[in-house]
Amino acid sequence: MIEVTLSEDEQALCRDVAMSRYSTSRELGLTQLRIDTSEMNVELLGVQGELAFAKVFDLEDPKDNLGSDGGTDYTIEEITIDVKTASKPTYRLLFRSLESFKSQVGVLVVKINDNTFKLVGWTTRKQFAELSQPLGDGGFTFEQNQLRPMEELWKRLTIKRLKNA
């Protein structure tokens, strides 16, 4: 697992992007899939997780995706990645349905405290479909101990990037 601490400037960026995404989503009539103390908190948590992932993989900062991201937050060397962020360190990787896991890879990031996030692990769409468990109220879940180490994903993508350079 890899821990990332966001600076105050990075947190300000996350708030700005989250507010923009929130406004755009409401204008388009899109609804939240998660419930929190506020819908804005859900957007902020997602952007923070994306930025933590981006820092580790040396990617550009998250942007307002002008509505739904279509199930892909990043593409690295033609591999599509959906970053899911949870507010609790012990949370599992969740998707609303098997069909909603659209990227090739799903990554779980968890919030440790206000500024620190842990990249817990990753799985492929195929592995998630084979091993996830249905939730009683809808959705599918994948336990943290089933996830592959983040270092493995970083290594695979770095090798692929270097081969294509």
Question: What's the pTM?
Answer: 0.89
Residue 89 identity: P
Contact 164, 158 (CB under 8 A): no
* Mean pLDDT over each residue of the chain, to the nearest integer: 88
Q: 41-64, pLDDT tens digit by residue?
A: 788 999 999 999 999 999 998 876
Other CB atoms within 10 Å distance of the CB of residue 13: 17
Closest CA to 105 of 131, 61, 130, 71: 71
Beta bridge partners of 86: 110
Domain residue extents for the chain: 2-164
Q: What angle do CA 18, 43, 119 make, to 5 degrees?
A: 105
Measured CA distances, 112 to 18, 36, 44, 57, 70 (Å) = 19, 17, 15, 20, 27
Q: How confident is the model at residue 137 (pLDDT cuts 50, 70, 90)?
A: confident
